[in-house]
Amino acid sequence: QSALTQPASVSGSPGQSITISCTGTSSDVGAYDYVSWYQQHSVKAPKLMIYDVTNRPSGVSNRFSGSKSGNTASLTISGLQAEDEADYYCSSYTTSRSVVFGGGTKLTVL
């Protein structure tokens, strides 16, 4: 199972909005509405930000939103804040009953 494709890096200024894409195939992203997004600061454990494409766990800011079209999912962060600077990973359930992650995107807040 190949990793999902994410841009290596994105950047934005405080207050702006950014979108991170996550492209898979019809065997993963396109097969189910089971895409999750994680935020990871330096060497800390990842934090779940979005699950099942659009849902936010309790406690996650509504500045984070998710969507999907075909084999590509997206994470949008609005009103960028300095604390949003981190690595972001998408994941998807697959038709093989496994989970595949994206390669990760480094978000820089300018």
Partner 1 sequence: EVQLVESGGGLIQPGGSLRLSCAASGFTVSTNYMSWVRQAPGKGLEWVSVIWRDGTTYYAESVKGRFTISRDNSKNMLYLQMNSLRGEDTAMYYCARELQIAKGQGAFDCWGQGALVIVSS
The binding site for partner 1 (CB under 8 A) comprises 1, 3, 32, 34, 36, 38, 40, 45-48, 51-52, 57, 89, 91-93, 96-104
- Closer to partner 1 at the Cβ: 39 or 84? 39
Task: Provide the minimum distance between the beta carbon of 12 and partner 1 in the complex, in angstroms, as a whole number.
Answer: 21
Q: Which amino acid is at 1?
A: Q
- Closer to partner 1 at the Cβ: 17 or 98? 98
**CA angle at 79 for the pair 73 and 80, rounded to the nearest 5°:** 80
Contacts of 93 (CB under 8 A, 6+ apart): 28, 31, 32, 34, 99
Distance CA 102, CA 35 (A): 11
- Closer to partner 1 at the Cβ: 30 or 103? 103
Task: Provide the minimum distance between the beta carbon of 51 and partner 1 in the complex, in angstroms, as a whole number.
Answer: 4
For 80, the token pair is 């960028």
Task: Provide the minimum distance between the beta carbon of 3 and partner 1 in the complex, in angstroms, as a whole number.
Answer: 7
